[in-house]
Structure 1
């Protein structure tokens, strides 16, 4: 029996109750109290300063920008928008074009509407970093910049700062994403509520790199599960749908069929597979998971990885979050988790 037919056969013999499961939270333990932890978030709306400049007068403002933003301006100009180094001879002309480009002006208007309450964003970031300092008291809190990138990468991370492409978080129904042909299943990742979770995930990814010397499905699932576990600790009240980027129906589906998903992984001997296509079908962005049929959401490997981490932490309550994040051998975590959905 083929892998897909085998899976669907198991679905057919399941009770219909599986389709109406209540949404039990994938939460970790009760979050600690962190109100006493002092955090001073330096939230810098760089895009406001940049786009306040008249394009034809940019050359008059360049020295000020260099003095104010230093290495950040270089990183933004070179790596984010590709305008070149601020000392290049064609830099002023490239920036004049970027600022004068009409679509960027349309994006700016929408960004200003969606992110009009920066105090609210700062409060949310402050709360997340209070949890961060609770678990990682010796870690520095980066400066947080807000920029417009032309719909490039969501986050840019350096050793002392992190920068957010605000136009990537304008809400799932924003017309720009339709114009850009962003698939519907990816538009939910564009919710404004994703900013803070994505900030914390970016920090985790920059601090705790993936160990690609063990690049199989088990290691990838567990690494992504650790990132989600980290985010859940930084934003404890995050809904499961937002954490996993699933709809309510998809969330119910993975919870109802977790045991069956795991059976397919084991029966097909995929757990320790290093085949790139197999890994992509479990881990990569997609409307559904190939091996589980079209009713499944994509990236179910992230969900399974989170559940493995949850099992590991329940069986090893003395392991701290820092210790978990520093463990880079997914096979060791998997063996100790004794995951049995």
Structure 2
């Protein structure tokens, strides 16, 4: 009898927890087909013997096409492969001692096993992306070294990730570069896939600044978070929002107080860009809410507003929500009351 009660209670708890996911069901994507390549471009590039740079440039152009041009011109900024001094500039980049030190660390962190896991995680995320966006092309994913310039570069057929931005929060390079601690916390290898999907989302849904007030920014970033969550359904909330466990608990506990403060101070429809950045921009904390709060709490609240909108419109789909263009209407229709 006692065992039966325990089983009943366990079943009830599971049911309640599942029901708290606001009716959201994870689709079965096991039969969804996607094809893409994950290429360690940086390893191929740095494996070129210094005396053979000239002969390998054409090979790289033939294999990588426009990507090679974009990387050289836009990421490491050494000019076009057709420029007179290109091979000389490329050789300097490939033999620059700090770059070689970064290369060694990247190889240590992004081992063959980790890249195998990365491929599987990308494959799963791309399956969900194709499920929701069957008409979209699945991009290839390249791994590059940028000299700490770019974290992510996106084009129509590829996404390129700067691996030296994901070497772990304790990586000595970030200390040498005086990277703030709150930014280092996001520089973990586990962030690669969420950041790839976030980059795709921001390309798919460019921000419309025709009404550039706080609520517009909050809802825009909230939509991007929902996109990432829908393409990585099992993502931990700390990874989704970029919060620590302590910060996550703080946000859940203080959601209503944060919202009340924004409304009370009449910040919601402010177009003051400095004020907006304090709510949605990267920061160690949100200055309006005190040092225990994380930065970017405005994005968290934007996510919650859209969560409320979904609850109010159970007949609508994920893409219906993503295709909404009027943030003020979204706010009214969400009936958000934390």
* TM-score (norm: length of structure 2): 0.91
Measured in 2, the distance between the counterparts of 1:216 and 1:204 equals: 21
Q: How big is the shift at 1:33?
A: 1.3
Measured in 2, the distance between the counterparts of 1:27 and 1:201 equals: 21
2:48 pairs with 1:63: no
Q: How big is the shift at 1:27?
A: 5.3
Q: Call closer, same or farther: CA 1:68–1:261 in 2, change over 3 Å.
A: same
| Larger RCO: 1 or 2 (CA < 8 Å, sep 6+) | 1
Measured in 2, the distance between the counterparts of 1:227 and 1:177 equals: 27
Contact 1:221/1:301 (<8 A) preserved: yes
Measured in 1, the distance between the counterparts of 2:186 and 2:310 equals: 27
Q: How big is the shift at 1:158?
A: 0.5
Match of 2:272 among 272, 275, 280: 275
SS at match of 2:167: coil
- 1:245-264 correspondence runs (5 A): 245-264=242-261
2:211 pairs with 1:243: no
Q: Which runs of 4+ in 1 moved over 6 A?
A: none
Contact 1:53/1:61 (<8 A) preserved: yes
Measured in 2, the distance between the counterparts of 1:319 and 1:148 equals: 42
Measured in 1, the distance between the counterparts of 2:21 and 2:64 equals: 39
Which residue in 2 is equivalent to 1:12? none
Q: How big is the shift at 1:318?
A: 2.2
Which residue in 2 is equivalent to 1:226? 223
Match of 2:84 among 76, 86, 89: 89
Which residue in 2 is equivalent to 1:131? 128
Measured in 2, the distance between the counterparts of 1:242 and 1:55 equals: 40
Alignment RMSD, CA only? Answer: 1.4
2:323 pairs with 1:323: no
Which residue in 2 is equivalent to 1:340? 337
Measured in 2, the distance between the counterparts of 1:67 and 1:124 equals: 29
Unaligned runs of 5+ in 1: 1-23
Q: Call closer, same or farther: CA 1:54–1:27 in 2, change over 3 Å.
A: farther
How many positions carry a matched residue from both structures?
318
SS at match of 1:139: coil
Contact 1:44/1:144 (<8 A) preserved: yes
Contact 1:77/1:85 (<8 A) preserved: yes
Contact 1:142/1:161 (<8 A) preserved: yes
* TM-score (norm: length of structure 1): 0.91
2:311 pairs with 1:287: no
Unaligned runs of 5+ in 2: 1-16
SS at match of 1:257: helix
Q: How big is the shift at 1:328?
A: 2.1
- 1:172-187 correspondence runs (5 A): 172-187=169-184
Match of 1:105 among 100, 109, 119: 100
- 1:31-50 correspondence runs (5 A): 31-50=26-45
Q: How big is the shift at 1:63?
A: 1.2
Measured in 2, the distance between the counterparts of 1:270 and 1:65 equals: 51
Which residue in 1 is equivalent to 2:67? 72
- 1:12-65 Cα offsets, whole Å, 9 max, x none, are xxxxxxxxxxxx999562311111111222111111110001233211211111
Q: Call closer, same or farther: CA 1:27–1:87 in 2, change over 3 Å.
A: farther
SS at match of 2:88: helix
- 1:179-236 Cα offsets, whole Å, 9 max, x none, are 1111111112111111001101100100111110010000000000000001011111
Q: How big is the shift at 1:238?
A: 0.9
Bigger shift: residues 323-332 or 196-205: 323-332
